[in-house]
Structures are given as structure tokens and as C-alpha cells.
């Protein structure tokens, strides 16, 4: 049976700190056979753009909560940022979505931390931008809580996409329950991004926010 490869954590330029154009992401997805989960910060605009290019992807959003970042997979409506993490998780599930916990122990990346791990349907145990010890802690927590595990590159630059992904048996990509089942036997392929990518990401975000504030960009 065919295998599916999914990179569960990808940002397009709908996020202020990413340079990935949806068209370029679609082309690389076709070339590599890796399906992206589009998880832009607090917006579904990148998902809307991806629909123009006829490739498979999982619609999602990385949402800033009061306690840290949470990703909703298979959601169709944006969820307000800066809500309590429990309320955010509830709103994801109200849409039939899955609660995906990214970089939960990374103190520099606004992870929610282990105190909220039980809220997750899926725990990200390999994030391409996290230090190894943070990924190891996430994996230990997922094993202890018997949560499905997944991997995401956390791509903000195109070269990062597809270096980290989960490989699993074929399933109906529109069915969240089948994804959870498939993840039980998934293999994780992980390659960390160079540490230097964090600086340009931060600078890009700050620059775009300033330009938006003075009306030079949206």
C-alpha cells in the first residue's frame, strides 16, 4: 500500500515571518511528493491561496493563545488569538479539527509547555527548528500520555520544507480520525534546520510589521 509523507508545520508568506510563496510550495510539494499542512500564524489566507494550485494539503492555523502556540488542523474558520489555551482547543474541536501541540517545550518559541499537553490530539515530537533536547522532551511526554506523534519542519523558507515529515500508510486525507489512526504506525524523518535561519525570520517579521504600521504593505 502507498505511503503518505506529511510535513505538519509549514508557513507561507501569509505569515509575516515567512518568505514561502504558495505557488513555490505547491511546485515543491509536487516534486517531492510531500504534503504540507499549512499552519500560518492566526490566519487561513495561505490555505486559500494554496487551493489555486491543485495540490493536496492539510488546512490548519498556528494560533497564539495566552499560554503559547497551538495548531488547529482541519479547521475552516479562523480562531481569535490570545484566548485561553483550553478555549482555543475547544474551538478547534467545535470545527471538527484536531489539536496539534507544536514546539511545546521550546522556551524561545512560545510553546505551551507540558502542563497543557493533555489537551493535544497530536504532539509534535520533532520540530525542524527546535534544539534536540526540546524535541526529546516532547517525545517523552507523548509516550507517557500515549498521544499520537508527528513531525513538522516549521518552514519559513522554502529550502526547509520537506526536510522533516511523518511517513505513514495511506489514509483518507480529509478524515481527521483516519489521520490519528495512521499516525500510530508513522515513521518520523527529521532534519534540523540551520540555527542561523531564526535571525532572518525574526527580522522579516519585525520589518513587515513596521511597514504595515506605516501603510506601505498589508
Phi then psi for 180, rounded to 5 degrees?
Answer: -60, -40
Q: Could you give the strand order of the β-sheet that contains 122-127, starting from the edge strand earlier in sequence?
A: 149-152, 122-127, 98-101, 69-73, 58-64, 34-38, 3-10, 165-169, 187-189
Specify the range with the lowest mean pLDDT, choosing from 30-34, 54-58, 210-214. 210-214
For 16-37, the pLDDT digits (tens) are 989 999 999 999 999 999 999 9
Locate the domains of the chain by residue range: 3-213
Is the confidence at residue 187, as pLDDT, over 50?
yes
Percent of the chain with pLDDT over 90: 82
Tell me the pLDDT tens digit for each residue of 101-159. Answer: 999 999 888 899 999 999 999 999 999 999 999 999 999 999 999 999 999 999 999 99
DSSP 36: E
What the block records as the C-alpha cell of 180 is: 490519528
Q: With a threshold of 0.85, does the pTM exceed it?
A: yes
pLDDT exceeds cutoff 50 at 205? no
Longest CA–CA separation in the chain, Å: 54
CATH number of 3-213, picked from 3.40.366.10, 3.20.20.140, 3.20.20.70, 3.40.50.300: 3.20.20.140
Q: What percent of the chain has pLDDT over 70?
A: 88
Amino acid at each position: 500500500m502507498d505511503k503518505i509523507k506529511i510535513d505538519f508545520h509549514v508557513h507561507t508568506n501569509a505569515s509575516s515571518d515567512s518568505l514561502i510563496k504558495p505557488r513555490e510550495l505547491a511546485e515543491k510539494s509536487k516534486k517531492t511528493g510531500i504534503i504540507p499542512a499549512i499552519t500560518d500564524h492566526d490566519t487561513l489566507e495561505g490555505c486559500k491561496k494554496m487551493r489555486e494550485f491543485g495540490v493536496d494539503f492539510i488546512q490548519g492555523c498556528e494560533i497564539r493563545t495566552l499560554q503559547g502556540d497551538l495548531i488547529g488542523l482541519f479547521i475552516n474558520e479562523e480562531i481569535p488569538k490570545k484566548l485561553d489555551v483550553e478555549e482555543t482547543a475547544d474551538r478547534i474541536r467545535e470545527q471538527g479539527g484536531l489539536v496539534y501541540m507544536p514546539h511545546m517545550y521550546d522556551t524561545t518559541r512560545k510553546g505551551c509547555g507540558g502542563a497543557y499537553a493533555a489537551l493535544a490530539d497530536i504532539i509534535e515530537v520533532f520540530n525542524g527548528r527546535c534544539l534536540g533536547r526540546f524535541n526529546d522532551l516532547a517525545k517523552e511526554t507523548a509516550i507517557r500520555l500515549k498521544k499520537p506523534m508527528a513531525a513538522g519542519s516549521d518552514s519559513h523558507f522554502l529550502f526547509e520544507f520537506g526536510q522533516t515529515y511523518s511517513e505513514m500508510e495511506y489514509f483518507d486525507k480529509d478524515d481527521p480520525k483516519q489521520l490519528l489512526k495512521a499516525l500510530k504506525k508513522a515513521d518520523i524523518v527529521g532534519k534540523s534546520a540551520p540555527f542561523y535561519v531564526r535571525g532572518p525570520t525574526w527580522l522579516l517579521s519585525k520589518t513587515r510589521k513596521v511597514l504595515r504600521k506605516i501603510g506601505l504593505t498589508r
